[in-house]
Every structure is written in C-alpha cells, then in structure tokens.
Amino acid sequence: MTAARRYPANADLEARARRRVPGFAWDYFIGGIGPEQCLARNRESLEAIALMPRYLGGAVTPDLTAEVMGTRYDLPFGVAPMGLGGMIWPGAAEAMAGAAAAANIPFALSSYANTSLERIAEIAPSHAWYQHYVTNRPEVEAAMLSRTEAAGYRTLIVTVDIPTATKRDRDIKNGLTIPVTIRPRMIAQVAACPTWALATARSGMPQFPNLAPYAPDGSSMSEVAAFIGTIMEGHVTPDRLAQIRDAWPGRLVVKGVLDRRDAEVCRHIGADAVVASNHGGRQLDAAPAAAEVLADLRTALGPGIALLADGGMRSGLDIARMLAAGADFVLLGRAFMMGVAALGPPGAAHVIETLREELRSTLAQLGCPGVADLPHFRSHSGSIAPKLDPAARLA
C-alpha cells in the first residue's frame, strides 16, 4: 500500500511518528509551554474560521501559486524554521530542504538547526531562508550575517520572540538538557525506537554548527550551549532591528510579531515581511493566536509588506483558513517534521503533496479561482475579525 493511501491526511502520520521517536524527543517537538493553552488556542482559532462555498459559479481550476517578496512559489506555504530538528529525526533538515526545493517552496533553516547553513544552501540554493536570533555580541552578529550572505542566502528571518530562556514542563520532567545527554531514564525510550537509535548513532548526537564556531576555542558541547544561552539573552530593540536592516542587503523578515505596535516598528525600519507567530505556543501560554491578530497587523503594516503566519496548521484546509483570515503566505513546522519522523526523508515530499491536494480540493469546493481570492470566501459569522479589502494585500 502506498504512503498516499495509508496516510491520506497528515494527521494519520502522527501515530507512526510517535512510535518511532523517543518520548523525550517527542515531547520537545510536540509540546508547548506551561499548561499548553496556547497550543489549543492556535487550533481553536483556525477551526473558528468558516469558509463560504459558491457552487453556482461554474467550474474552476484553482491557481495555487503565490508571490511573496518578489518571488513566485508554486504553493502558498513553506517550511518554518525548527530548532534541534536533528534530535527529532536525524537528517530532517536536509530532507525537508530537498523536498521544498523540488516543490518550489521556501525552506527556513533555524540558527539552532543541527545542519549547517552552508549545507542547506547547497541542497536548496534558491529556496533556502535563514532564521537568525539577535545576539548581544556585535562581533558575533556581524560574523553570522556575513557568513549567511556568503553562503548565498537572500532572505533573513529575524526572530524576536525569545527575550529570555523559557521553562517548559515536559522537558523538565524528561530531564532533557542541551546538549542532549541520554540519561538512564531515557535508555528504555531509545531502545523502543531502534530506527531512530541507528540513525542517531550514524549521525551522532545533535550539534549546533551554525552557532558553535563563535564559542571560545576548545569549548565542550556543554560550554558551547552555555555560550549560546548567554549571547541570545535580551529583548530586540527597534535600534537593534534597524541595525540588522542596515547590515543585511537582502530581504528581511521579522518573525514573532503579534502586536500592531511591533508591526509599525517593522514597517518603519524597512522590513520586507512580518510573520505573525506565537512561536508554536512555546513561549507565552497567554499569547494570542496568529489568526486572531492578522487584521490588526495588516492595518499596521499597510499594503507594501508581506504578512506571513504560522501556528497550528496541519492541513490544506487550515492553510486556506489562514490565508482567508489575512495572511499572504504561511509557514508550517510540526506538520513537516511529523512526516519525516513517520516516513523518513520521503515523508517531507509526502506532506507537501498531501497539503497541495487538500488545498486544491478546498479551493475547488469553494469555487475559488486562486489563493489570492480566498478572503472573498471567508464567512464572517465567526469570531475572527475581518481583514482589509483583498485589493490592498500584497500580490
């Protein structure tokens, strides 16, 4: 039986992925923060968005392409940056980057990924975006930006929603530390996942090749992790963001924006795009969901800045809902990682094709000719505030 028949929806991959990944890694991947109310809010906000079908308008062949920051992609979604992905499944970043390039969608590599930015630039030279955390060391920042540009990246994502270390209950209970150390309580979990264990043995425990070079020479992995923690601490001020804008010659995306005043700062400093995001429910459990703030952010940004969104999407229908709520483009993280964890490297392409077909089917059911027209099919009987007129959104 083919994967398409055995796993027709991405939700079908979860049970298999859960069996193949040790519990401590699974909890890190799937969990949020505190009681995880923000995780639930992300889903509830999407499910509250109703779409109004128009069945008497004639047949349509939906156009699924989308343009963002001057580049046209075959689909209106990309792969969100995910840190420590190599712990979830070794080689996950390489698999997702290759699948994204083949499908003509973007792949965003996290600073905390376990694959170097140079390697991903080789795999997906025209589709790779790099996600950067602002540091409190100017010399480190300058070196990181220069390295990213030299590798050929033209899109930099600056994530602003991690001003300090967080307290994630699942990780504390599991004894998960960075660097990852297999403790006695984890041995049985690893033994129950032999495919993961063998893949990890071949690749080695996750390293941080994008950040480790800036630690003092001779640092152990524990010392590298401690160093990274110290240089990432602190809020991103408007002045720091403006400095990065001045230093980075390519397209600048600011990720983690929920408040319209922060969006106005992004507009003022000349950002090319903003990502409405609560970091997958992993930072502040009381944070609003992206779908709840898109209308306010669109008003604050105006028509010339792309508005992206992430958080809670698992299906093509979810993508359609987020686009109808006001996003120009969306990013998904856990859905892609779930596919790789369940099926290995081919899982990334399987997820893309599943999302493509679900999105195509959704638009055809609505009678919607293209993703840019989705706001016209939004039912405003739900609780999510309407966005600006679609004519004002970025093409």
What gap in Å lies between CA 334 and CA 35, rounded to an integer?
19
Contacts of 80 (CB under 8 A, 6+ apart): 108, 310, 331, 332, 333, 336
Which of 333, 310, 319 lies closest to 371 in space, CA to CA? 319
Question: 3-state SS string over the chain?
Answer: CCHHHHCCCHHHHHHHHHHHCCHHHHHHHHCCCCCCHHHHHHHHHHHCCEECCCCCCCCCCCECCEEECCEEECCCEEECCCCCHHHHCCCHHHHHHHHHHHHCCCEEEECCCCCCHHHHHHHCCCCEEEEEECCCCHHHHHHHHHHHHHCCCCEEEEECCCCCCCCCHHHHHHCCCCCCCCCHHHHHHHHCCHHHHHHHHHHCCCCCCCCHHHCCCCCCHHHHHHHHHHHCCCCCCHHHHHHHHHHCCCEEEEEEECCHHHHHHHHHHCCCEEEECCHHHCCCCCCCCHHHHHHHHHHHHCCCCEEEECCCCCCHHHHHHHHHCCCCEEEECHHHHHHHHHHCCHHHHHHHHHHHHHHHHHHHHHCCCEHHHHHHHEECCCCCCCCCCHHHCCC
What gap in Å lies between CA 146 and CA 159, rounded to an integer?
18
For the question of residue 350 being annotated catalytic, the response is no
Which is catalytic among the residues 127, 132, 279, 350?
279
Joined together, the tokens standing for residue 342 give: 């369940």
Contacts of 201 (CB under 8 A, 6+ apart): none
Cα-only R_g, the chain: 20
Amino acid at 320: A
Which residues are identified as catalytic?
279
